[in-house]
Amino acid sequence: MDMMVILFSIGASFLLAVLLGPLFIPLLRRLKFGQQIRTEGPQSHLKKGGTPTMGGIIIMIALMIAFIRFADKTPEFWVLLTASLGFGLVGFLDDYIKIVFKRSLGLTARQKLFGQLLFSIIVCAMLYNMNHSTEITVPGTSWGFDLGWFYYPLVVIIMFAASNSVNFTDGLDGLLAGTSAIAFGAFTIVALQTSAHESAVFSAAMIGAVLGFLVFNAHPAKVFMGDMGSLGIGGGIAAVAILTKTELLLIVIGGVFVLEMLSVIIQVTSFKTRGKRIFKMSPIHHHFELVGWSEWKVVTVFWLVGLLFAAVGIMFVI
């Protein structure tokens, strides 16, 4: 595959995001699309109240334009676009309700679940129509097994887990933008190694889009991506893992996202069963804030951990 296509995809989406930022951020501010800060969160975050959110629209537009321009319009192309924009749409509705109706929780859990399930089923139908392999391969080995029809419920689980764990990670300035850029960087290499052209172009376009967004989202953030961005990123990374047949490798490359989700599960389970909290606050990035780490220190350490997970993941395919 021509590496120039990958580089152009990264460069184009990065440039688009950087150009879109100064257009959308003032607009979001004028529309009073400001972040509602939860009072039960870290007190240091209260000063972020009113910072424009729904900045995920910058990521999604930059991604979409670059991806459409440089990718071939194959069935894989439509799966990737549906997964990312579909989950991004669910996030958009969640953000819109939070902001316009001043409801800090946005969509109800049942409504968000329905939206994610709907687009997961659509992706499953698209995979079935393109005769996508239902085999699962263990990373780093030649061992695999065919799940048959049971593969499709697994796809739904992967998309749910990926989108929600990525969503949990979006809690500090630049945290998700940086960790997702690293994860998609690893998946670009994975896609190139597995000759998955569209997945490589999509991952490259996502790298540029989130890095361009990071220009405005780095501490102190001028804009937040909101659920539109985090769910869109999560849906996209799940689709890439599925199409490159590295479903299990997603657990490694997305290690930071897995840790964030596990911290929430452990915290909730411990509190409900024993009445005790394991962490000062979950997701776990807030725990480190509350033990005295600066926001920037938490973010940079998590970026480094993400790099480590990505490097380990790449080792399984090269």
Determine the Cα–Cα distance for residues 151 and 170; give it in Å rounded to an integer.
Answer: 29
* Residue 53 predicted with pLDDT over 90: no
* Residue 39 predicted with pLDDT over 70: no
Q: Where are the alpha helices (DSSP H) in the chain?
A: 3-30, 56-70, 75-100, 109-129, 151-169, 175-193, 197-217, 226-243, 250-253, 255-274, 284-290, 295-315
Amino acid at the residue 117? L
Residues 247-263 have a mean pLDDT of 97
- Give the predicted TM-score (pTM) of the model: 0.93
Determine the Cα–Cα distance for residues 202 and 180; give it in Å rounded to an integer.
Answer: 13
When the pLDDT of each residue in the chain is averaged and rounded to a whole number, the result is 92
Whole-number Cα distances in Å, 56 to 99, 132, 230, 267, 301: 14, 30, 7, 28, 24
* Residue 233 predicted with pLDDT over 80: yes
Give residue 96's pLDDT band: very low, low, confident or very high (50, 70, 90). Answer: confident
Residues 285-303 have a mean pLDDT of 95
Domain ranges, ordered by start, for the chain: 3-246
Give residue 46's pLDDT band: very low, low, confident or very high (50, 70, 90). Answer: very low
Q: What is the pLDDT of residues 72-92, one digit of tens each?
A: 999 999 999 999 999 999 999
Residues 161-187 have a mean pLDDT of 97
Give residue 31's pLDDT band: very low, low, confident or very high (50, 70, 90). Answer: confident
Per-residue model confidence (pLDDT) at position 69: 96
Give residue 167's pLDDT band: very low, low, confident or very high (50, 70, 90). Answer: very high
Per-residue model confidence (pLDDT) at position 97: 87
Q: Is 72 annotated as a binding residue?
A: no
Beta strands 144-146 and 135-137, pairing class: antiparallel
From 294, 307, 4, select the one nearest 183 (Cα to Cα). Answer: 307
* Residue 100 predicted with pLDDT over 80: no
Q: Is 131 annotated as a binding residue?
A: no
Q: What is the pLDDT of residues 120-159, one digit of tens each?
A: 999 999 999 999 999 999 988 888 899 999 999 999 999 9
Per-residue model confidence (pLDDT) at position 277: 93
For 8, the token pair is 């152009």
Per-residue model confidence (pLDDT) at position 203: 98
Residues 198-213 have a mean pLDDT of 98
Per-residue model confidence (pLDDT) at position 134: 97
